[in-house]
Structure 1
């Protein structure tokens, strides 16, 4: 998987408070793995101007290092299996996997590599990085919301991070120009919802 390092900016007051804490009380950065049972990577795209088609991927994996105290993030990596696309119709799924769209046979992995982050508040910000689809890499910026960091209330009971993120891309930027400009839209809205579990 692709990997990068970056620091999540924090407000000056928060930084001062963190530095003032005794070392023994400071939270230690830890690695979090995406929980595949609670991870959504989905998209919508306009069909012939009538309505948007919703699709999602079932093959998702990723990890990152996160410090809940300082909101510092590093070692971010994410991968989606292009062939796992599901739009609710088998024939359409096969077409989306073809060279007209994802070209999944030649380029089986969709990857994202983060390069920078900007905090807008304690729970929201933007994440810039490089998205690779069909073997083409383009810069993107995600709007990110940190929903919760807490011990899971059941099952594994491990510390879990919950995140929502979204962005919009143009598929033509990644070499998919089939049925443009009318039959299949160029703008693709990306929706990410996931839980990530603290690694032992």
Structure 2
């Protein structure tokens, strides 16, 4: 009985089929690009003042985008850029001081950036997102607790597939060289950061 001769083409086809059959769903999942909706993006900060109460403020101008693999529950890349000048704490003189070199030094460092370096899922809709935070010209790693609140087509307006996300972390401002009012202690070193935003899937990739 003659055996059928296998050509290089049939060998390659069989090899590819085997690879596809053995690949995990995560390996075959499609990574999607998302842009943070600037109409639904809040970045707040909270820091203690003289031990009496916390001052709560926010940044009014920011933009961001990231890649997300829903099957693998992974965030392979992403970046958020915040405008230092946009700091707001509902007190004009305090905000002017925050923009000066005692704190944000916005004239020299107009942007605060966060770039994703790693993501670890901790539950079905939670994870630890690690990235490099650059503030006052210094870059240090920061890990945020992240919760995916909702993932669905938007019911109104743009009607695109949208993620709703909450994230938070606590940093020490002194780690970035922001030491004003620490000795004597007038303004706390620990700063609680909270992000709330919606991100829209980009069919054509990042803007």
**Normalization by structure 2: what TM-score?**
0.82
Q: Distance in 1 between matches of 2:186 and 2:136?
A: 21
**Equivalent in the alignment of 2:200:** 197
Partner SS state of residue 184, structure 1: coil
Question: Within 5 Å, which residues of 2 pair with 1:17-166?
Answer: 19=24, 28-166=30-168
Q: Distance in 1 between matches of 2:132 and 2:74?
A: 19
62-71 or 167-176: bigger deviation: 62-71
**Equivalent in the alignment of 1:4:** none
Q: Following TM superposition, by how much is the alpha carbon of 1:27 offset from its aligned partner in structure 2, in angstroms?
A: 5.5
CA-to-aligned-CA distance 1:36-89 (integer Å, 9 cap, x gap): 010011100001111000110111111011122332322311100010000001
Q: Following TM superposition, by how much is the alpha carbon of 1:128 offset from its aligned partner in structure 2, in angstroms?
A: 1.3
Q: Distance in 1 between matches of 2:118 and 2:177?
A: 25
**Equivalent in the alignment of 1:185:** 188
CA-to-aligned-CA distance 1:7-43 (integer Å, 9 cap, x gap): xxxxxxxxxxx9369x9xx753221000001001110
CA RMSD of aligned residues (A): 1.7
Instruction: Could you tell me which runs of 5 or more consecutive residues in structure 1 were left unpaired when the two chains were aligned.
Output: 1-17
CA-to-aligned-CA distance 1:134-181 (integer Å, 9 cap, x gap): 111111111111111100110001000111111011111111111114
**Equivalent in the alignment of 1:7:** none
**Normalization by structure 1: what TM-score?**
0.85
**Equivalent in the alignment of 1:175:** 177
Whether the 8 Å CA contact 1:35–1:194 is kept in 2: the answer is yes
Whether the 8 Å CA contact 1:68–1:149 is kept in 2: the answer is no
Q: Distance in 2 between matches of 1:147 and 1:184?
A: 33
Instruction: Could you tell me which runs of 5 or more consecutive residues in structure 2 were left unpaired when the two chains were aligned.
Output: 1-22
Q: Give the structure with higher Rg (CA).
A: 2
